Amino acid sequence: MVIANWNSYPRIEANLWDFRAEAEALELLHKLDSCIPRGMGRSYGDCSLASHIISTPGFNRFISLDQEQGILECEAGTSLKDILRVILPLGWFLPVTPGTKYITLGGAIASDVHGKNHHIHGAFGSHVHSLRMLTPQGEVITCSREQNPEVFSAVCGGMGLVGLILSARIRLMPIHSVYIRQKTIPAGSLDQLMELFELNEDCTYSVAWMDCLSRGQNPGLFMLGEHCTAKEAPDRNLSPPERAGLSIPGHLPGWVLSRAALKAFNSLYYTRGRANAGYSFQDLESFFYPLDRVQHWNRLYGSKGFLQYQFVLPKEDSRPGLKRILDHINSFGLPPYLAVLKLLGSQKGLLSFPMRGYTLALDFPMKPGLTALLNTLDQLVHDLGGRVYLAKDARMNQNSFIRGYPENRRFLEIKHGLDPDNKMTSLQSKRLGLCAKAY
């Protein structure tokens, strides 16, 4: 079948293998010479693409929930959406969540995903108590920070390249309402946005949307959030209100998302944000997953798809670095249609993306010249000591990867021990030279 991940690029012909029990997963690993696990395909690029794909969403049972300690154990194909459906009414939330709930537990661990609170609470892997993994050689091992810690640091952020995660025990976070007290602050420039991040570094959630279509100043909206106490929440309900969402029926023609249309949208979004500046109560869905309300919004970019370029720069160099990068993008005349800025803390996983600094995620429509632009951005990012997020990558080259991920050799040593024949191989891992034999 033809398959692609969220950004619809690359689109490849592949065999998809489902399983519902561990014994079936083991059979698949014996049968296939080479394969890669895939959750819900919400990554942007080719990290979960290969000729043979082990598809995990059918392996999705809840195993246990310790309601005293807030420890949940699930099979790796369980989606965050299903987890939230069970835990929210019991007064628990995910300590870390990305901007969509349509991902699997295994995908969250393998990409070591981050949320709007990374600078305070770290990445998803920091909240994994322990996990069980089927190694490429057919052994089931348990790992955690105490048990097989080296393997644990290779699995969290390891992009499925050291084995198939079967299940995980994760620590949940207690909440007293499904509301977030949000503060929205309009900012006229990148400098102002960064000052707001610095001033509010001890707030739990922070994120900024930036307008990159208006040349020069990059105005934006800075949003802060804290969980409401039961007393201040608008109601006592522990399930977020159901809302009817939109759905994009098919790939739309390119002009729908033209530069002019996006410019008008950005200006409207900013004006509305300014008008609604200040405090408001947002339910968890609206605060954490605004894009999930429009199903298949990726189709807005048309059948050619789009690329998301997400990078992080060390904090001390972030301000001049981000300016240099945005100037460079402007000089190319290929502005991103969406730009989201966050502050990250440090991270321990060998291939985990975060480092203490600022991360910018930019959505670019597929256009001639885009590859050339992104290749030069790689150079700039790495010269500034930063790196590009593997879960959002479809095109980086091996040199850029090696420069951005200094622990790659240690990762390959561990992969060599667990997967000497490179059974776990994706299109991305081939492109980046992430293979045990090369080590």
Ligand X SMILES: Cc1cc2nc3c(=O)[nH]c(=O)nc-3n(C[C@H](O)[C@H](O)[C@H](O)COP(=O)(O)OP(=O)(O)OC[C@H]3O[C@@H](n4cnc5c(N)ncnc54)[C@H](O)[C@@H]3O)c2cc1C
Residue numbers of the site for ligand X (CB under 6 A)? Answer: 5-6, 36-43, 47-48, 56, 76, 98-100, 103-104, 106-107, 110-111, 113-115, 159-160, 164-165, 291, 391
Q: With respect to ligand X, which residue has the nearer C-beta, 92 or 205?
A: 205
d(CA 169, CA 246) in angstroms, rounded, equals: 34
State how far the Cα of 102 lies from the Cα of 118, in Å rounded to an integer. 20
CB of 59 to ligand X, least distance (A): 8
Which residue, 94 or 233, has its beta carbon nearer to ligand X? 94
Closest distance of CB 217 from ligand X, Å: 25
Shortest distance in whole angstroms from residue 117 CB to ligand X: 11
Residue closer to ligand X by CB (options 378, 393) is: 393
Pairing label, strands 71-75, 164-171: antiparallel
Kindly tell me which of 114 and 127 has the beta carbon lying closer to ligand X.
114
Nearer to ligand X, 3 or 233 (CB): 3
What is the C-alpha to C-alpha distance for residues 393 and 307, in angstroms, rounded to an integer? Answer: 8
φ, ψ of residue 369 in degrees (nearest 5)? 95, -10
Q: To the nearest whole angstrom, how small is the minimum distance from the Cβ of residue 360 to ligand X?
A: 12
7 neighbors 391 (Cβ within 8 angstroms): no
- Smallest separation, CB 135 to ligand X (Å): 11
| Cβ at position 423, least distance to ligand X in Å | 12
Minimum distance of ligand X from residue 98's CB (angstroms): 3
Map tokens 């200094």 to a residue. Answer: 406
Closest CB to ligand X among residues 165, 212: 165
Closest by CA to 35, choosing from 422, 324, 347, is 422
What gap in Å lies between CA 7 and CA 302, rounded to an integer?
A: 10
Please identify, using beta-carbon distances, which residue of 177 and 310 lies nearer to ligand X.
Answer: 310
- What is the distance between the alpha carbons of residues 350 and 153, in angstroms, rounded to a whole number? 6
Taking the least distance from each CB to ligand X, the nearer of 108 and 193 is 108
Please report how close the Cβ of residue 281 comes to ligand X at its closest, in angstroms: 22
